């Protein structure tokens, strides 16, 4: 037994699907608007970590951190005991930083 779907039903289903596909990007959140700092840890030299957010919150390598080759460019390797990156305080924090 053949099942025949009317042409109008296929058109309606296609339009609904296209509407959903086009609607999803409108729910995207602009994280850059609220971005305080972005540290990619791929600078590769010195003891400073560049802030890619444009807010100038440059971090500094403290303790045992050293630059090594990473999966994508450079990375920082720590000994797990004394190394860390110090980030300066933001001048006007409005919410918790995670």
pLDDT, tens digit (0-9, with 9 covering 90-100), for 28-73: 677 777 788 888 887 778 888 888 888 888 889 998 888 998 888 8
- Beta strand pairing status for 84-86 and 74-77? unpaired
Give percent above pLDDT 90 in the chain: 1
pLDDT of the residue at 41 = 84
- Measured CA to CA, the distance from residue 67 to residue 16 in angstroms comes to 52
Q: pLDDT band at 2, cuts 50/70/90?
A: low
- Measured CA to CA, the distance from residue 35 to residue 16 in angstroms comes to 35
Taking the domains of the chain in order of start, what are their residue ranges?
31-86
């Amino acid at each position: 037994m053949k099942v025949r779907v009317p042409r109008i039903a296929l058109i309606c289903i296609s339009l609904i699907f296209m509407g959903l596909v086009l609607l999803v990007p409108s729910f995207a959140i602009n994280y850059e608007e609220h971005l305080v700092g972005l540290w990619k840890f791929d600078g590769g030299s010195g003891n400073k970590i560049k802030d890619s957010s444009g807010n100038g919150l440059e971090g500094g390598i403290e303790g045992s951190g050293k630059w090594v080759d990473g999966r994508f460019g450079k990375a920082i390797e720590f000994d797990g005991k004394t190394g860390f990156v110090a980030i300066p305080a933001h001048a006007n924090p409005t919410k918790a930083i995670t």
